[in-house]
Structure 1
Amino acid sequence: MDGVLLIDKPAGKTSHDVVAMVRRAHRGVKVGHAGTLDPFATGLLLVLLGRATRIQRYLMALPKEYETVAQLGATSTTGDPEGEITHTGRVPPDPPELPTGEVRQRPPAYSAIKIGGERAYKKARRGEEVDVPERVVHVSRFEQRWREGDRAAFVIACSSGTYVRSLIADLHDGYCLELRRTRIGPFDVADADPERLIGLQEALAFLPHVALEGERAKAAGHGVGVECDADGDGPFLLTDADGAIAIAERQGDLLKPVVGFRA
């Protein structure tokens, strides 16, 4: 039971709810996920089973794609329908100016970012003032698909760590009525199937592969660095005839396993 499930999360469920459901179905197997979705949001959630929980950070670093429907002329304290709504009547022009490339944004106070060791949303719910630092993200695509009165739909492709709620709020004024994650790296929500477990080697197909044999494969399986003329610093997926051995990074002339799958 080592691999990744592609789950199409419904609205009203938390990412933790989905993980708990999978954990009940696969008792005794370690379960996690790679990237939280807000309860009101829907779409692709990568649920990790067994040794796939070790690759969480590599999956979380992948770019994302979203579709969102925005309510214009109003603001929300949370950036979504669950917050305190203020109708301002101020709407962005049509078409609006949609930023791409490097974008500076301030994540919402109601977010899972840790401030002083505590999740920002917990402080915000207690009424505390939350100063979430700005960050630089990369937006490769930001398009308006349609606009009807005070509502508009957008498609967004962005780097990991981007808050779509902030992108919409920064249009002045608007908040997300609906939010759907359609893609994470090579994974598409159209392929979601809670019954199909994607194995480690297939799940890590986006990494450059280095095939090993014999003693070199055995050494890598024990965490020992191996010589290789592969280009770049990695990370690389080391494999042999039995599948994934480890994720490795370059250390001098060696590829050093940093995440192993054989022990």
Structure 2
Amino acid sequence: MDGVILYDKPAGVTSHDVVARVRRSHDRIRTGHAGTLDPFATGLLLVLLGRATRAQQFLMGLPKSYETVARLGATSTTGDPEGEITETGRVPPDPPALPTGVVRQRPPAYSAIKIDGERAYARARRGEAVEMPEREVTVTRFEQLWRRGDTAGFAIDCSSGTYVRSLILELGDAYCLELRRTAIGPFHVADADPERIVPLGDVLARVLPSLHLDPESARRAGHGAPVPGEIPGGGEHVLLTDDQGPIAVAVPRDGGLLKPTVGFRA
């Protein structure tokens, strides 16, 4: 049961709805996810089962890929079809200026970011003015795929934490009509299967360097004790494994040691 489901979320349900659905179908096992999708959005959601919930931090930060359809010549109070729509007729140029690299953006007020302990969208829905802090994100691909009349399709590859709604908003008078997440790091929506649990060890081996331990070192690491070793290729984290599978994620310490910080055996 310790693993990840690659789930193709449909439109009209929340990420929490998907997690609850999976939890019910797997005997109420501990369940979570690695990256929220808005209710109107579709696409890849990583649903974590059992001890895989302990690895959430290593999956949350993976880069994301999206395909979006933008409505041009109109604005939305939420940046998506659920807001109040205003027709302006002002259409962004073709082709539009599409920024890549490090981009400063302001997340939409209707987002799940917490402001003073409360979700921003809850404040915005009460009519409160919400001042969202700017953030820096990295966009490695922002490409217009097609344009037909007042709609256009875009492909976007970006760092974790990027708001696609904000990228489309910055085009001018435009908002996200459709949004689909096609990939999270090395995981693709084309491989989604709600009935298949990808083993935790297989998932982490695709996102972290790994080090196979001898039996004594594996026993020590399983109890949280430091073990000798180096991270292959460098880096901040390494997956410690033995013949039974994943033991822990560890970080380097002085003296050529690796200290387990997230364990999967106990």
Aligned-partner SS, 1:196: coil
Residue equivalent to 1:58: 58
How do 1:1-263 and structure 2 match up within 5 A? Answer: 1-205=1-205, 206-230=207-231, 231-252=233-254, 253-263=256-266
User: Identical aligned pairs, as a percentage?
Assistant: 71
Distance in 1 of aligned mates of 2:181 and 2:160: 12
Unaligned runs of 5+ in 2: none
Q: Which AA in structure 2 matches 1:238? A: L
Distance in 2 of aligned mates of 1:214 and 1:20: 38
Distance in 1 of aligned mates of 2:14 and 2:169: 22
Runs of 4+ in 1 over 6 A off after TM superposition: none
Deviation at 1:27, TM superposition (A): 1.7
Deviation at 1:218, TM superposition (A): 0.6
Aligned-partner SS, 1:141: strand
Q: Which AA in structure 2 matches 1:236? A: V
Aligned-partner SS, 1:194: coil
Distance in 2 of aligned mates of 1:49 and 1:210: 23
Unaligned runs of 5+ in 1: none
Deviation at 1:233, TM superposition (A): 3.8
Q: Say what the alpha-carbon RMSD is for the aligned residues.
A: 0.8
Q: Encode CA deviations 1:183-213: one digit per residue, 9 max, x unaligned.
A: 0001000000011101111111220011101
Deviation at 1:91, TM superposition (A): 1.4
TM-score after normalising by structure 1? 0.98
Q: Which AA in structure 2 matches 1:215? A: E
Deviation at 1:109, TM superposition (A): 0.1
Distance in 2 of aligned mates of 1:28 and 1:80: 33
Q: Which AA in structure 2 matches 1:8? A: D
Q: Select between 37-46 and 85-94 the one with higher mean Cα deviation.
A: 85-94
Aligned-partner SS, 1:244: strand
Q: Which AA in structure 2 matches 1:136? A: E
Distance in 2 of aligned mates of 1:175 and 1:202: 38
Aligned residues between the structures: 263
Q: Which AA in structure 2 matches 1:182? A: T
Aligned-partner SS, 2:196: strand
Distance in 1 of aligned mates of 2:258 and 2:85: 53
